[in-house]
Structure 1
Amino acid sequence: MKIDNLILSQRFCGPPKTGNGGFTAGILVEAAGTETAEIRLLNPTPVETSITVESEKGLRGIIYDDTKKVLATLKSITDEDFSKYKLPEVPDLDEAKTISSFYPGFTTHPFPTCFVCGPKREVNDGMRIFVGPASEQIGFENLMAGHWLPDETVATQDGFVRDAAIWGALDCPGGFSAVLDKPQLIVLSKIRGKIIERPITGENYTVMSWRLQKMSRAFKVMTAIFKSDSKRLMAIAEALWLAPRNWDSANQEW
């Protein structure tokens, strides 16, 4: 078992005081060194506070705070455990850029400083993934799409995007598809996905998301990352989002 103590920078927040859910999941993925995984987010992971990451290579991982409260868990899954999903038709790059300009988060956003999707984050600071409503396709409810140009601040030494940022990109777009027809505050509860091919910084990608199921307080969604030119699938995830019963409104103040 490997044990790492770290402090999650506020740069990687979702809500201002806690980590972006997908990025936090990706930290566990990086620690466990697995390509396909299921991560449960049990409690918000605080930023600028010491946390502990325990991992067993290729198998499992856990994040907990200094009181030993479990914040997130990971288990590795196989390709056979990950369902095959029908994929939408991917728009051309110019169309994806146009769709991004209709991002609903430009007008209403619960966390406008989110590292992944916050419109108040500048280039080379936030990932600035903005998905807007895409043309309707049969079988894809609340389909959304957007352009993503990853920069060197989320890169590993070899120029590929780090896993935590990839999982961040697989997070937020799904949340907007979940509540596109009735916006409300929701948070990521569980995400299971796989990285097929790592994106490269400085190249264009199209991120798409759609809703699979709506329940009372829960929403199941899909998010996928495609290479913009070849429209090749790079990564995909299924996620469960929940409307929290008791939300601390102080965690919306930057």
Structure 2
Amino acid sequence: MGDRTDAKTITVPERLHGYPGVAFGGYVAGVLAARVDAAAVRVDFRRPVPTGTAVSFADAPDGGSALMDGELLLAAAAPAPWEAGELPGMPSWEEASAAAEAYRAAPPEGQVDCFGCGLDRTPGTGLRLHCGQVAGRDLVATAWTPGAELATAEGVLPDELVWGALDCPGNAAGRLLDGRPAGAVTAALTARLLRPVPVFAGAGLVSYSWMRESGGRKYGVGTELATAAGELCAVGEALWVVPRG
């Protein structure tokens, strides 16, 4: 599933879409981040990355990497400073499971076939990040277990899918904690991967997100990914934008 870091082009298959015809942002961010030698990387999205169409990698200033469609800049990745700041406590597996069940029982209107959070996906064809609000907390979370089909030969989640696990929860935070409408897009995603993420029977994961700021059409979130046992695997922050109209 991953892309070789020395490749010149990439064609994202349609099955890896967020919205129809648009590549899943977390996946694209992870592919670009793999080409940047830094502990934390920020990826800025300038235009939608299409599925089913070859787009090109290009070098960017200061050790960064860019994704181009001809002369058009689609996304750019660069080393980023990382300051954790104040973080919420991780929800338990039980809390995250209850939040996910609440989401599935009454899902907000949205894209049901998104690779990251689509309700129509199976564990082998999507991440199934069904984030509902954690009872009594300003936090959304989901408990999930990746399908074996998503693992590398070493039995871990590919880095680009770890980035994906930090993406869709931000949409849920905006929808459920800040009253945002469907259709928001990731404008920027910054992440730091801390340890390999296991994929095997019984290896549950918890993704969770919270609001950091909100104003106008934009809002910022924090997101984390941990094992069910409470080991933090990756941390991220993202800027989301609600399109005009």
TM-score greater than 0.5 by the shorter chain: yes
State the alpha-carbon separation in 1 of the partners of residues 156 and 146 from structure 2.
Answer: 9
Match of 2:221 in 1: 221
Instruction: State the partner residue of 2:134.
Output: 134
User: Hey, what does 1:123 align to over in structure 2?
Assistant: 123
**1:250 alignment partner in structure 2:** none
Residues matched between the structures, number: 236
Distance (whole Å) between structure 2 residues aligned to residue 114 and residue 235 of structure 1: 21
Amino acid at match of 2:18: G
2:8 is paired with a residue whose SS is strand
Establish whether residue 150 from structure 1 lines up as the match of residue 122 from structure 2.
no
Q: What code does the residue aligned with 1:201 have? A: V
Q: Could you tell me how far 1:157 is from its partner in structure 2? A: 2.3
TM-superposition CA deviations, 1:123-176 (whole Å, max 9, x none): 311111111101334xxxx41111121223322222121111011110010111
The gaps in structure 2 that reach 5 residues or longer are: none
Q: Which residue number in structure 1 is paired with residue 101 of structure 2?
A: 101
1:29-108 paired onto structure 2 within 5 Å: 29-32=33-36, 34-55=38-59, 59-65=63-69, 67-77=70-80, 81-103=81-103, 107-108=107-108
What is the Cα deviation at residue 2 of structure 1? Answer: 4.7
User: Any idea what SS the aligned residue of 1:31 has?
Assistant: coil
User: Scaled by the length of structure 1, what TM-score is found?
Assistant: 0.86
The code of the aligned residue for 2:111 comes to F
CA contact (8 A) 1:32 1:55 kept: no
Identity of aligned residues (%): 25
The answer to whether the aligner puts 1:178 opposite 2:181 as a matched pair is no
Q: Residue 97 of structure 1: CA displacement?
A: 1.3
Q: CA deviation at 1:106?
A: 5.2
Residue among 19, 31, 39 paired with 1:27: 31
- For residues 105 and 113 of structure 1, the distance between their equivalents in structure 2, rounded to whole angstroms, comes to 17
Q: Do the aligned partners of residues 100 and 42 (structure 1) sit closer, same or farther apart at CA in structure 2, a change above 3 Å counting?
A: same
The answer to whether the Cα contact below 8 Å between 2:22 and 2:49 also exists between their aligned partners in 1 is yes
Q: Secondary structure at the match of 1:214?
A: strand
2:157 maps to 1:169: no
Question: Offset at 1:109?
Answer: 3.4
State the SS of the aligned residue for 1:63: strand
91-100 vs 43-52, which moves further: 91-100
The answer to whether the 8 Å contact 2:25/2:164 transfers is yes
CA contact (8 A) 1:131 1:208 kept: yes
**TM-score normalised according to structure 2 size:** 0.89
Distance across 2 between alignment mates of 1:35 and 1:105: 38
What are the residue-to-residue correspondences of 1:193-208 with 2, within 5 Å? 193-202=191-200, 203-208=203-208
Instruction: Give the whole-Å Cα distance in 2 for the aligned partners of 1:103 and 1:41.
Output: 28
Contact 2:123 2:146 in 1 (8 A): no
Matches of 1:43 and 1:105, distance apart in 2: 34
* Amino acid across the alignment from 2:77: L
- Partner secondary structure for residue 90 of structure 1: coil
